[in-house]
Amino acid sequence: MCLNWTMKTERLRSLGIYIHIPFCVRKCKYCDFLSLPIGAEPISLVHEGEREKMIRTYFKALENEIENKSAHFREKNYTVDTIYIGGGTPSVVPASFIFSLLEKVYKALDVESDAEVSIEVNPGTLKKSSLELYRKAGINRISIGVQSTNNADLVMLGRIHSREDFLKSYDEVLQAGFENINLDLMHSVPGQSLDRWKSTLEDALWLKPDHISAYSLIVEDGTYFKTLQDEGKLRLPDEDTALEIYRFTNTFLEENGFKRYEISNFAVPGRESRHNLRYWDLSEYLGVGLGASSFLLDRSLPDIKGLRLSNTRDMKEYLDSGQNALSEAKTLDRDRLMEEYLFLGLRKTEGIFEERFEKLFGISLREVYGAVIEKQVKEGVARFEDGRLHLTERGMEVANPVMAEYLRQ
Ligand code: SF4
């Protein structure tokens, strides 16, 4: 990481931290995330085989990376207000590793007392004892990778858990005293009807989580599903059914106390993911671990600029590198930042506030994007009201091409 990249402002600045744990029991059939299958055998803390050695070495590397990079953020008076441990499957590794890692973060950086500290867990890997240790480690938000409560869906997706495993895990999460719980769900999966999806949503609502992420399946290159699709063997819901499922999800969750605050994210008021909002707000974050990305912003006008850094995706290189294995460092000038601000910010239902845009970039939103905005308002995919630009319902349905119109390069 280019720690000599100078920040001109010295006032308190907030930072989010993302920590990547790239291990899973096995690969799900749709997954293109950076994760290595390590098998279902519990990780032994006593007998160290090759697998245990790699995981231990990886955690040592994470701790070193945090240590190495934190000096810069301490020096610049950053305070950390969100930490997100994602994967992969963080719950597949011993909770004591997560505990020590967080201890390291708290020592190395100034973490706010009310910081949002999240961990992703998967049913089938979660232990009751781990949950207690997570709490002791300051974790206050649990994100459960459920995808579906239908066992046939779960088998078809290649998930390792069953509906029963999920319900047991959910109960244990509640018993451990967690009050901020997200459920990750996936719709428009092969063979899914609206009724089948509806029953997953009903199950989810019955459990009263605080947050639901409801993503549509995307068939990514390099996945087992992609191979099936290329062979003509993947039976996805047709376009009409997929649209019906998408619309039903939005209405049903909003009718049941959830506010849709991003294209695929719903929360009971006040429980929006503060960490994920950082990405859509173009706020700063430090990514630690294999393949993790960081984003830093120098807000000095008129030369506002951003720096996007990505760690290597090669495990051997990461472990051998002294944890400084950057694969990419890209500086973003004001034009590029404005594009990203629009591209990411319009994912939020509140959209982009004219005043915030002008304060950040020193130029008015209409001056830069007046022509695109006018065109989109006419087409009915965007609306300008109360000093903010946001997508309409129709605009959200075709969000990618609509948002891409703000990318000028
Ligand atoms: S659990 Fe998540 S990260 Fe792991 S293989 Fe499945 S989808 Fe990918």
User: Residues lining ligand 1, judged by CB closer than 6 Å?
Assistant: 24, 27-28, 31, 33, 35, 87-89, 122, 145
Q: Give pairs for 35-43: CB < 8 Å, separation 24+.
A: 35/87, 35/88, 35/89, 36/88, 36/315, 38/92, 40/160, 43/92, 43/93, 43/94
Residue 44 has a pLDDT of 81
Going from the Cα of 237 to the center of ligand 1, the distance in angstroms, rounded, reads: 22
Q: How many CB atoms lie within 10 A of CB 270?
A: 8
Residue from 20, 26, 27 whose mutation best tests the ligand 1 pocket (most atoms within 8 A of CB): 27
Q: For residue 158, which atom of ligand 1 is closest to its CA?
A: 6
Residue from 21, 25, 28 whose mutation best tests the ligand 1 pocket (most atoms within 8 A of CB): 28
Residue 46 has a pLDDT of 76
Going from the Cα of 32 to the center of ligand 1, the distance in angstroms, rounded, reads: 8
Residue 294 near residue 285, CB atoms below 8 Å:
yes
Contacts of 67 (CB under 8 A, 6+ apart): 104, 108
How would residue 12 be classed by pLDDT, with cut points 50, 70 and 90? low
Q: For residue 122, which atom of ligand 1 is closest to its CA?
A: 1
**Amino acid letter for position 79:** T
Residue 154 near residue 148, CB atoms below 8 Å:
yes
Residue from 31, 32, 223 whose mutation best tests the ligand 1 pocket (most atoms within 8 A of CB): 31
User: Is 3's pLDDT higher than 60?
Assistant: no
Residue 119 near residue 134, CB atoms below 8 Å:
yes
Q: Identify the three-state secondary structure at position 281.
A: coil
User: Cα separations (Å) of 351 from 225, 251, 269, 317, 399?
Assistant: 34, 19, 17, 40, 12
Going from the Cα of 358 to the center of ligand 1, the distance in angstroms, rounded, reads: 40
Nearest CA to ligand 1 atom 5: 27
- Summarize pLDDT for 177-214 with one digit per residue, the tens: 999 999 999 999 999 999 999 999 999 999 999 999 99
- Summarize pLDDT for 231-278 with one digit per residue, the tens: 999 999 999 999 999 999 999 999 999 999 999 999 999 999 999 999
Q: Identify the three-state secondary structure at position 196.
A: helix
Going from the Cα of 21 to the center of ligand 1, the distance in angstroms, rounded, reads: 11
Q: Identify the three-state secondary structure at position 275.
A: helix
Strand duo 211-216 + 141-147: pairing? unpaired
Q: What is the pTM of this model?
A: 0.94
Q: For residue 30, which atom of ligand 1 is closest to its CA?
A: 7
Nearest CA to ligand 1 atom 2: 88
Domain with CATH 3.20.20.70 in the chain: 13-277
- Summarize pLDDT for 292-346 with one digit per residue, the tens: 999 999 988 888 999 999 999 999 999 988 656 777 789 999 999 999 999 999 9
Superfamily of domain 13-277: Aldolase class I (3.20.20.70)
Span of 31-35, 83-87, 324-328, 394-398 with lowest mean pLDDT: 324-328
Tokens 């239908």 belong to 150
User: Is 4's pLDDT higher than 50?
Assistant: no
